[in-house]
Structure 1
Amino acid sequence: MMIELTAADGHTLGAYRTGPTDATKALVVIQEIFGVNRHMRRVCDAFAAEGYAVIAPALFDRVERGVELGYEPADVKRGRELRGPIDADLTLLDVLAAAGALPAGVKRGIVGYCWGGTVAWHGATRSSAFSAACGWYGGGIVAAKDEVARCPVQLHFGEVDASIPMTDVTAIREAQPDVGVFVYPGAGHGFGCEERGSYVQADAERAQERTLRFFAQHLG
């Protein structure tokens, strides 16, 4: 179901909420540059099926409400246009609003994809709201690779991602030796999205297995 959140600066935004009401573990799920669309809701529902209370904040609401894009070139262009003017500090306020709306008294994690992978890294380094963070193909992580994580972090990258060269992944590994970094041979950007041409089912399933084990270890 869709709910409304209010960030610390007074901005109101939508969010997709799912999962058991009596959950003992919780996640904030962060969108790609395509909004909280059908794929992101499926991602949320998959975590909910594993027993997580889940909230996915609509981060594009800062510039346009209700955005749900597909994966054609025009959608990519529009997503980048929407993403461009959004300030990372304001995005973090929206993330923290989502975290605050999760059930009280349970450990919270954050997981993000594409742009959301970078946002998840910021959630780990720029807040103390989370007990674990996981990022899938976050292209902006390398620019913040020297930031100090306040919780355990796991990262996933495709070997042939055209927007994240292996030199970036190597730099992240060198800067963050305690972070679990996984690279999927032959996989490109968005390998975990079933609606994209770059989808690789085996790699998506393997990355999800690792993600679930990681959160089980740190969130209970």
Structure 2
Amino acid sequence: MGQMITLHSDTPIGAYLAEPANPTRGGIVVIQEIFGVNAHIRDVADRIAAAGYTAIAPALFDAVQPGVELGYDTDGIGKGVALMGQVGFERPLKDVAAAAKYIAHTGKVGTVGFCWGGTVAYAAAIELGLPGVSYYGGGNTHFVDRPAKAPLMFHYGLKDTHISADDRAKVAAANPDAPLYEYDADHGFNCDRRATYDAASAKLAWARTLAFFAEHIG
């Protein structure tokens, strides 16, 4: 459904662009996990386009290593964590801002991010004022001392050993007006390419995410 384009941020990077068949309801920046703009992230963008929004997924690792698509095995995790460490959070926020600008002609723009991308989505609500949905953002607690400038929604798995109940409580306390949902699921429950995929939780979280977009984007 979509296509790869070149996005001009600090340096040119790739991005996956998926556009709806009918006039768009707005734009959504899809923010990758540590595995790159892989088949799962492209599928999320396609699903968002099918729901009526223009979706763009910037390749946040391109500045240090172009074209990254990693598997969900130990090797992929190790490479992804190393790349995440190289790019940090400041550079991805610039890339998200560039992606949001690219699709700004569609109307209001929001974000949805997964894992590391979930934390980038949270940071984008704080730094860029973009409404965002954060799925199992493991680094969200790094930003709880800063108020968000836009609406947020959070999704967490109760079986996620990467994110403690205390971490979730800190995020909830810092964002009292933001819905925070917990599911009987593990980290990565939205991704049907991972062993931790949970269909029921993913379906419910997705319905809530689309409702968030309808309310805050269009």
Shorter-chain TM-score bucket reads over 0.9
One-letter identity of the residue aligned with 1:13? I
Which segments of 5 or more consecutive residues in structure 1 lack a partner in the other structure?
Answer: none
Contact kept, 8 Å, 1:134 with 1:154, in 2: the verdict is: yes
One-letter identity of the residue aligned with 2:199? Q
User: Alpha-carbon deviations, 1:95-143, whole Å to 9, x = none?
Assistant: 1110011041501110000000000001100113x2x210000011111
Alignment of 1:24-39 (within 5 A): 24-39=25-40
- C-alpha distance in structure 2 between counterparts of 1:219 and 1:176, whole Å: 19
Indicate yes or no: 2:48 matched with 1:17. no
Contact kept, 8 Å, 1:23 with 1:103, in 2: the verdict is: no
Aligned to 1:181: 180
Aligned to 1:150: 149
Q: Point out 4+ residue stretches in structure 1 off by more than 3 angstroms.
A: none
Contact kept, 8 Å, 1:26 with 1:106, in 2: the verdict is: yes
- C-alpha distance in structure 2 between counterparts of 1:117 and 1:175, whole Å: 16
What is the RMSD computed on CA atoms of the aligned residues? Answer: 1.1
- C-alpha distance in structure 1 between counterparts of 2:142 and 2:92, whole Å: 17
- How many residues are paired up? 215
Post-superposition offset of 1:30: 0.2
Aligned to 1:6: 8
Contact kept, 8 Å, 2:54 with 2:106, in 1: the verdict is: no
- C-alpha distance in structure 1 between counterparts of 2:191 and 2:79, whole Å: 18
Alignment of 1:73-112 (within 5 A): 73-104=74-105, 106-112=107-113
User: Alpha-carbon deviations, 1:163-186, whole Å to 9, x = none?
Assistant: 11111001111122111100102x
- C-alpha distance in structure 1 between counterparts of 2:171 and 2:198, whole Å: 24
Contact kept, 8 Å, 2:20 with 2:51, in 1: the verdict is: no
Indicate yes or no: 2:67 matched with 1:66. yes
One-letter identity of the residue aligned with 2:140? I
- C-alpha distance in structure 1 between counterparts of 2:39 and 2:189, whole Å: 16
One-letter identity of the residue aligned with 2:8? T
Post-superposition offset of 1:89: 1.2
SS at match of 2:61: helix
- C-alpha distance in structure 2 between counterparts of 1:90 and 1:77, whole Å: 20
Judged with a 3 Å threshold, the aligned counterparts in structure 2 of structure 1 residues 198 and 4 are, in CA distance, closer, same or farther, namely same
Which segments of 5 or more consecutive residues in structure 2 lack a partner in the other structure?
Answer: none
One-letter identity of the residue aligned with 2:117? G
User: Alpha-carbon deviations, 1:18-77, whole Å to 9, x = none?
Assistant: 112731311000000000000111111011100110100000112100001111111111
Post-superposition offset of 1:86: 0.9
SS at match of 1:51: coil
Aligned to 2:137: 138
Identity %: 44
Contact kept, 8 Å, 2:6 with 2:14, in 1: the verdict is: yes
- C-alpha distance in structure 2 between counterparts of 1:194 and 1:100, whole Å: 30
TM-score by length of 2: 0.96
Task: Report which stretch shifted further, 188-197 or 169-178.
Answer: 169-178
Post-superposition offset of 1:87: 2.9
SS at match of 1:147: coil
Indicate yes or no: 2:212 matched with 1:210. no
TM-score by length of 1: 0.95
